[in-house]
Structure 1
Amino acid sequence: MKLTIWGAAKQVTGSMHLLEVDKYKILIDCGLDYERGTRVEDNEAFPFNPAKIDVVILTHAHIDHSGNLPTLIRMGFEGQILCTAPTADLAELLLLDSVNIFLGKQRKRSNRHSRGGSSGPRPLYLQKHVMETAEQFVTIAFNKPFRLNGDVEVELIPSGHLLGAASVIFTVSEFGHKRKIAFSGDLGRKSYPVIIDPQPLPAVDFLVCESTYGGRYHSRDETIEEVLIRTIEETCIKNPGRLIIPAFSIGRTQALVYSLNKIFSTGKLPPVKIFVDSPMANYATDIFRKHHDMLNEEATSFYKHNGDEFEFDNLYYVQSMKESKTISNYLEPCIIVSSAGMLEGGRIQDHLYHNIQNYYCTILFVGYSAKGTLGHRLLRGDPFVHLRDKELAVYATIKRTDNLSGHADHADLINIIEAQDKKQLKNIFLVHGEPESMEIMKDQLEQNGYSVSIPEKGQTFII
């Protein structure tokens, strides 16, 4: 059995791992690599022949895990893509959005070209390639072994990171022996709104584990409801202000809306108008409703007693751009939930433009903002930001909470790994994290008696 790490090696994006059992080739995830310095077109340079891959296992829908699947298919892959049903639906939605992003960038380059600049490369893939990808999805249930061939069996177990997200467990029969290798995918947190808890991994011989939050810990002093109640009271109840919450459309927005539903439907705060202004979030919420039986026990219980988790009085899902623009004319205190979470594009930029100089506005970040993004500049306290070709002074209050982070933190990751039998677990391969995070995890795990590797991109291990 041979394992090659082709993506998310000493970085976060571009997850892609190749497992070879004899001549049978299994690709685990096929994500877009969008690290700084990587060109979109670099994702076409697969280090293997896509036509020779027998099957793909997709852990979850996020673009850094699914975003290069249409390219794989465009370049010759004809096999099945195995994943859970929610992952298939959400991945199709995200991949179509990627096409729109590619085309938008191409239009901007074309405009520059018409003024004497370069037109730039063509889109990585088009809508027809996404449709071909969707046709190759084969959905399988959690916790039900699925035989790939005579020697390999795969099982998906909940990882808790996103609706339908899975860790992947392979049982491989070679030379009369059975061995297990697990790919963690992205691991979530316990008691996260709406999403089921990550399921403990079974005892395995090898573990490929994410390390996104290695060395970092989530704050545990307050719940997300407590943070929201306090912030809404300060912004919208005691003062006639606006609370703007940048949130990723898939996962984060649904968790946030459900938390707001619990607050307002139980009378913990007086009514406040809430606008959800993200077309993709609206589509994603419908997918959450479609797979309602896969939400966590608290959410399904809430549904039985209170109805739709994602619908309540004073909540309004904005549809058109015209409706979005009219929000600036709403003069009462309100809450605006909009994407993108790092403020790089999307309708959120319109709301920022109209409110960044409003002393009565609070911008509450509920997720990570990468270096170089507008979100990161606001969080570090920049006094001015550039919006719509203008330098605007920042008078709004900037706050953040990590209570809605969908990733397991350092303690969670270590606990998941150290639940493994040291005698059986022969090696841990750390992926999907910054080098510093990996080194911190490696040091602690080795001190506790585990064997740990931090693979280079393209490094192969005989296991």
Structure 2
Amino acid sequence: MKLTFWGAAQQVTGSMHLLEIDHYKILIDCGLDYEKETYQEDNEVFPFDPSSINLVILTHAHIDHSGNLPTLVRLGFEGQILCTAPTADLTSILLFDSVELFLRKQSRKPRTKRGNFSGPKPLYLHKHVMDTIDRFVSIAFNKPFRINGDISLTFIPVGHLLGAAAAILTINEHGEEKKIAFSGDIGRENYPVLVKPEPLPQVDYLVCEATYGGRYHTKDQTLEERLVKEITEACVKTPGRLIIPAFSIGRTQSLVFALNQIFNKKLLPPIQIFVDSPMALKATDVYRKHHNLVNQEAKDFYKTMGDEFEFEHLAYVHTTKESKDVSNYLDPCIIISSAGMLEGGRIQDHLYYNIQNYYCTILFIGYCAKGTLGNKLLRGESIVRIKDREMMVYATIRQTDLLSGHGDHDDLVTVAKQANAKKKVFLVHGEEKSLLSLASALTDENYNVAIPEKGQVFDL
């Protein structure tokens, strides 16, 4: 059995791991690597023949895990894609949105003399997304699924996103049973809407994410307290606006539920809230569809108070015209819009009109990869480029980790101890400092730890 790390190796995005059992090839995740300026061109070339892959296992819907699946299909992959039902639904939304982003990016480039677009060609089109969706096969949580006579798969809920799972593979290789776990992205306890991560079974090998290795979430303040404080400062004491960049899938639903609870308790005076993201509308419907998989707190709220994602003074913005009207709204308000790293979507319009507004606060609630506009603002750059214009930053920039969907250092160590990988722990999906911190902690616990390089091969 051979394991090759082709993505999220010593970086965060582009998750893609190849497991070969004799001549059977399983790809675990197939995400977009968007940490390079030329990410579209770079993602088009696979280090293996896509038609040689027998099966794909998808841990969850986020684009850094799912976003290159249509390219894989376009270039010859013909197998099944195994995932949970919510992951299938949410991934479909994200992949169609990716096509729109590719097309918009291309259309902004100047045309050639012949009238053709000069920008990079889209990685894939709607047809390729539809072909990809046709390959989804939904697997329930905690029910072993036999892939073939020698390999079975079990999905364990990890709470990072609705439907997010760790993939546990039990493999009979030449009469010897081996177990390997791919953690996907690990969530955290007491997160709005989502279940807490379930313990992983003991395995021989563990491939574990390390996004928050060496970092710890805020523990001296609750999410409710922090949101009340930020809203009070931005919208009550000062008649301004609070803009919250949030991923449309996952982060927005948890934030809306948290705000629903705050205003239901009357902890703040009524304030208009706009959710300006067409994708968030579709994703919220998926959360409603799979309501049996939300956490008990959300289920109890639904029984007593109704829909977690609807309440007075909350408005979902549908059309581009409505979005422009939000920019002209003069009273204090909260604007939740995507994308979370500010690299596209309607959030750029809101930034364009508010980045030089002294009465605006921009509150980041998630991770921003290196090179993104969000990362530049968080680093304190005083001039940023928005929609092809250099702009001074006068708005207040704030950040909280209380809505981070990733478990912190202690959570990751706990997961590794549960899995108790007897032979080896591989750390992926993290920046260098995080990888080294988590590796040191696990080495102190007497685990054999490796931090693979891209393309590195291990015999298991």
Secondary structure (helix, strand or coil) at the match of 2:430 reads: coil
Which stretch shifts more, 115-124 or 357-366?
Answer: 115-124
Secondary structure (helix, strand or coil) at the match of 1:148 reads: strand
1:87-98 matched pairs, under 5 angstroms: 87-98=87-98
Matched letter for residue 342 of structure 2: L
CA distance in 2, matches of 1:18, 1:335: 43
CA distance in 2, matches of 1:216, 1:157: 24
The equivalent residue for 1:59 is 59
CA distance in 1, matches of 2:269, 2:119: 52
TM-score (normalizing by structure 2):
0.96
1:224-239 matched pairs, under 5 angstroms: 224-239=223-238
The equivalent residue for 2:82 is 82
Secondary structure (helix, strand or coil) at the match of 2:26 reads: strand
Question: Which string of whole-angstrom CA distances, capped at 9 and with x for unpartnered residues, describes residues 325-369 of structure 1?
Answer: 112332221111111212223212222232233332222111122
Secondary structure (helix, strand or coil) at the match of 2:351 reads: helix
Secondary structure (helix, strand or coil) at the match of 2:163 reads: coil
1:384-399 matched pairs, under 5 angstroms: 384-399=383-398
CA distance in 2, matches of 1:388, 1:47: 34
The equivalent residue for 1:299 is 298
Matched letter for residue 417 of structure 2: E
Residue 330 to residue 29, structure 1, CA distance change in 2 (3 Å): same
The equivalent residue for 2:440 is 443
The equivalent residue for 1:185 is 184
CA distance in 1, matches of 2:171, 2:387: 55
CA distance in 2, matches of 1:455, 1:380: 28
Name stretches of at least 5 consecutive residues in structure 1 with no aligned partner: none
Contact 2:158 2:197 in 1 (8 A): yes
The equivalent residue for 2:202 is 203
Superposed displacement of residue 132, structure 1: 0.5
Contact 2:107 2:119 in 1 (8 A): no
Superposed displacement of residue 238, structure 1: 2.4
The equivalent residue for 1:274 is 273
CA distance in 2, matches of 1:266, 1:331: 26
CA distance in 1, matches of 2:392, 2:176: 66
CA distance in 2, matches of 1:53, 1:329: 51
Residue 193 to residue 126, structure 1, CA distance change in 2 (3 Å): same
Residue 442 to residue 280, structure 1, CA distance change in 2 (3 Å): same
Q: Tell me if 1:379 matches 2:372.
A: no
Superposed displacement of residue 196, structure 1: 0.9
Q: Percent identity?
A: 66
Residue 175 to residue 378, structure 1, CA distance change in 2 (3 Å): closer
The equivalent residue for 2:69 is 69
Which stretch shifts more, 25-34 or 86-95?
Answer: 25-34
Superposed displacement of residue 52, structure 1: 2.0
Contact 2:101 2:344 in 1 (8 A): no
The equivalent residue for 1:363 is 362
CA distance in 1, matches of 2:389, 2:184: 41
Superposed displacement of residue 233, structure 1: 1.6
Question: Which string of whole-angstrom CA distances, capped at 9 and with x for unpartnered residues, describes residues 169-228 of structure 1?
Answer: 011112333221100001111111111111111000110111111122211121111111
The equivalent residue for 1:330 is 329
Q: Tell me if 1:27 matches 2:27.
A: yes
Superposed displacement of residue 68, structure 1: 1.1
Which stretch shifts more, 139-148 or 321-330?
Answer: 321-330
The equivalent residue for 1:456 is 453
The equivalent residue for 2:217 is 218
Residue 34 to residue 354, structure 1, CA distance change in 2 (3 Å): closer
The equivalent residue for 2:10 is 10
The equivalent residue for 1:434 is 431
Question: Which string of whole-angstrom CA distances, capped at 9 and with x for unpartnered residues, describes residues 35-91 of structure 1?
Answer: 225531222322222222211110011111111111111111111100001100111
The equivalent residue for 1:262 is 261
Matched letter for residue 13 of structure 2: T
Secondary structure (helix, strand or coil) at the match of 2:180 reads: strand
TM-score (normalizing by structure 1):
0.95
CA distance in 2, matches of 1:352, 1:414: 38
Superposed displacement of residue 231, structure 1: 1.3
Superposed displacement of residue 408, structure 1: 1.2
Q: Tell me if 1:241 matches 2:240.
A: yes
Matched letter for residue 264 of structure 1: F
CA distance in 2, matches of 1:401, 1:301: 27
Superposed displacement of residue 388, structure 1: 4.5
Name stretches of at least 5 consecutive residues in structure 2 with no aligned partner: none
Matched letter for residue 35 of structure 1: E
Matched letter for residue 90 of structure 1: L
CA distance in 2, matches of 1:217, 1:321: 39
RMSD after superposition:
1.8
CA distance in 1, matches of 2:278, 2:349: 14
